[in-house]
């Protein structure tokens, strides 16, 4: 059993304290999974502990001492010397003026030359030639892809772990993985987790693994039951103040089991077709095809019926969001044919068709990035302003709908808050409510579980169930396969394939 490392941390900007937590802890020599709504402070706390928060110009205190003093302490010097921080946005960590292969072998990473091997291990399905081609490029915005950049950074961290393990002493260290699997599909994610846990079992090290992906718990329980003693789950949550607590994996495992049982009782819908999207979409020089659950290309394309949820699955970058934006008239494809609630998408005058007949009336969409989708300078009480529904301005309507997602006791104060002041998870919930109150025949949810904690995911799922019972058709796009698959029937899962038009 590793010893606990306890932390009291506060951070302020221009004298205004915005983060204060007492009793944050991680266990030494264990992999500490940390859950919690996005924007609650997981990344910042980890950056502060690691010693990577100096550049933000904040007034930080760590266990009663100033950040400058903390950075000078032996413990932090050792953490930085022996550890590694995998940033959420990998582009910020890669130098555009150096080849990736060079970046994987410089500085502390010089002593081991196993980067190609590690990259291949965590990239199943990627050939050695492809790996060499990825490693030989200078990083640009569009190449390598987001998933590849993430794996490059993970390769660096895993190399550093190997270097740490090759040392004889049991020195202080900390490896932080901040949302390391956000751009990876399940196959790649699992390969990374396998590599991390198995490496950890050779010689233990301390790690904080920040994630919103609760399905990792199921994967570890099923695949690495023998290693669970090396793993701890905890979460950050906001009560009156920011709090830290243990997260019981059984809570999620029982919940998902229950969800799976519910999904078994679901029946194939026979409502009206709310979306009929024909095969043969062509956009940006790519052809996109819908593959049925049995692996066949069905000429009917993608079909959603009233009261049914359909899950569109594909690796990152295939074009799931592109399909959603074509449906919503935001992208104009070279070739596409589809019908929304009986209305065929026109080839001309598309704008007036969508403006007058579709947006907010026959279809609506939740975009994946709540920070961009919401007006951050509005107050919570203005969230429904401008929507094409009756009573949107009434206080009763506001309270009734907010209470589906937020604690009733806080709603009065909460509705006066500026949206920019909310946590990422709270923003995401508002983003979802705004679309859901429309109850349009077709609702598209693009990554609806992004940044949500377990309780919020449960609430969103209940809201989806309510919409389905109201005969709305729902198109779901999500990386969170395990959770989404409990919402849809296997026959309603479509895979999206992409190939070049040439």
Question: Which positions lie near other proteins, rule CB under 8 A?
Answer: 325, 328-330, 350-352, 355, 359-361, 363-369, 372-375, 377-378, 385-388, 431, 434-435, 438
Q: CB 24 → other proteins: shortest distance, Å?
A: 31
Q: CB 330 → other proteins: shortest distance, Å?
A: 5
HSE-up of 452 (CA within 13 Å, CB side)?
A: 25
3-state secondary structure 407-472: CHHHHHHHCCCEHHHCCHHHHHHHHHHHHHCCCCCEEEEECCCCCCCHHHHHHHHHHHHHHHHCCC
| Entry field: residues in the chain | 502
- List residues bridging with 442 in a β-sheet: 363, 473
Q: CB 26 → other proteins: shortest distance, Å?
A: 35
Instruction: Indicate the residue among 152 and 363 with the shorter CB distance to other proteins.
Output: 363
Of 1, 93, 14, nearest to 47 (Cα)?
Answer: 93
Instruction: Indicate the residue among 112 and 387 with the shorter CB distance to other proteins.
Output: 387
Opening angle at CA 267, ends 262 and 272, nearest 5: 130
Q: What DSSP element (H or E) covers 350? A: helix 350-353
Q: CB 402 → other proteins: shortest distance, Å?
A: 17
Instruction: Indicate the residue among 83 and 425 with the shorter CB distance to other proteins.
Output: 425
Opening angle at CA 42, ends 38 and 48, nearest 5: 145
Q: How far apart are CA 393 and CA 382, in angstroms?
A: 8
Instruction: Indicate the residue among 42 and 434 with the shorter CB distance to other proteins.
Output: 434
Instruction: Indicate the residue among 73 and 378 with the shorter CB distance to other proteins.
Output: 378
Q: CB 343 → other proteins: shortest distance, Å?
A: 15
Are 176 and 85 within 8 A, CB to CB? Answer: yes
HSE-up of 221 (CA within 13 Å, CB side)?
A: 15
Q: C-alpha distances in angstroms, 473 versus 111, 277, 347, 378, 468? A: 56, 13, 24, 30, 7
Are 124 and 195 within 8 A, CB to CB? Answer: no
Q: CB 338 → other proteins: shortest distance, Å?
A: 15
Are 182 and 220 within 8 A, CB to CB? Answer: no
Instruction: Indicate the residue among 127 and 394 with the shorter CB distance to other proteins.
Output: 394
Instruction: Indicate the residue among 231 and 374 with the shorter CB distance to other proteins.
Output: 374
Residue with tokens 């169930």: 465
Instruction: Indicate the residue among 351 and 391 with the shorter CB distance to other proteins.
Output: 351
Instruction: Indicate the residue among 211 and 431 with the shorter CB distance to other proteins.
Output: 431
Q: Is residue 313 helix, strand or coil?
A: strand
Q: CB 251 → other proteins: shortest distance, Å?
A: 32
Q: How many CB atoms lie within 10 A of CB 365?
A: 23
Instruction: Indicate the residue among 332 and 394 with the shorter CB distance to other proteins.
Output: 332
CA dihedral 205, 84, 126, 192 (to 10 degrees): 30
Are 462 and 262 within 8 A, CB to CB? Answer: no
Q: CB 375 → other proteins: shortest distance, Å?
A: 5
Q: CB 260 → other proteins: shortest distance, Å?
A: 32
Q: CB 380 → other proteins: shortest distance, Å?
A: 14
């Amino acid at each position: 059993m590793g010893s606990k490392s306890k932390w009291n941390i506060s951070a302020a900007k221009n004298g205004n304290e915005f983060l204060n937590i007492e009793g944050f802890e991680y266990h030494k020599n264990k992999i500490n999974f940390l859950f919690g709504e996005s924007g609650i402070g997981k990344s910042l706390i980890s950056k502060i502990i690691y010693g990577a928060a100096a550049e933000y110009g904040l007034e930080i205190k760590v266990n009663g001492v100033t950040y400058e003093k903390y950075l000078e302490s032996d413990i932090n010097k050792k953490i930085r010397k022996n550890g590694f921080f995998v940033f959420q946005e990998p582009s910020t960590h890669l130098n555009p003026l150096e080849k990736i292969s060079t970046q994987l072998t410089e500085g502390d990473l010089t002593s081991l030359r196993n980067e190609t091997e590690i990259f291949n291990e965590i990239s199943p399905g990627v050939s050695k030639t492809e790996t060499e081609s990825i490693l030989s490029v200078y990083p640009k915005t569009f190449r390598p892809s987001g998933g590849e950049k993430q794996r490059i950074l993970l390769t660096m961290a895993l190399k550093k772990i190997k270097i740490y393990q090759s040392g004889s002493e049991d020195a202080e260290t900390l490896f932080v993985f901040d949302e390391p699997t956000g751009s990876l599909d399940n196959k790649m994610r699992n390969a990374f987790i396998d590599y991390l846990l198995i490496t950890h079992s050779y010689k233990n090290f301390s790690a904080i693994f920040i994630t919103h992906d609760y399905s990792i718990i199921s994967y570890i329980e099923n695949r690495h039951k023998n290693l669970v003693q090396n793993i701890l789950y905890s979460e950050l949550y906001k009560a009156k103040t920011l709090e830290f607590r243990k997260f019981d994996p059984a809570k999620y495992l029982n919940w998902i089991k229950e969800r799976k049982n519910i999904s078994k009782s679901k029946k194939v819908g026979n409502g009206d077709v709310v979306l009929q999207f024909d095969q043969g979409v062509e956009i940006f020089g790519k052809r996109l095809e819908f593959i049925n659950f049995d692996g066949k290309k069905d000429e009917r394309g993608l079909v959603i019926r009233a009261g049914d949820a359909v899950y569109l699955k594909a690796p990152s970058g295939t074009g799931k969001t592109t399909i959603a934006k074509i449906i919503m008239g935001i992208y104009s494809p070279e070739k596409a044919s589809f019908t929304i609630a009986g209305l065929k998408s026109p080839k001309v005058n598309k704008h007036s068709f969508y403006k007058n007949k579709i947006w907010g009336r026959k279809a609506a969409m939740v975009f994946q990035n709540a920070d961009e989708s919401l007006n951050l300078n509005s107050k919570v009480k203005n969230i429904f302003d401008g929507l094409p529904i009756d009573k949107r301005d009434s206080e009763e309507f506001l309270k009734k709908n907010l209470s589906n997602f937020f604690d009733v006791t806080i709603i009065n104060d909460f509705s006066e808050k500026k949206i920019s002041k909310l946590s990422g998870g709270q923003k995401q919930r508002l983003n979802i409510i705004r679309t859901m109150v429309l109850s349009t025949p077709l609702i598209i949810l693009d990554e609806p579980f992004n940044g949500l904690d377990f309780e919020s995911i449960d609430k969103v799922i209940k809201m989806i169930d309510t919409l389905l019972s109201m005969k709305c058709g729902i198109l779901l796009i999500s990386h969170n396969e395990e959770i989404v698959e409990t919402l849809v029937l296997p026959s309603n899962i479509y895979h999206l394939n992409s190939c070049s038009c040439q």
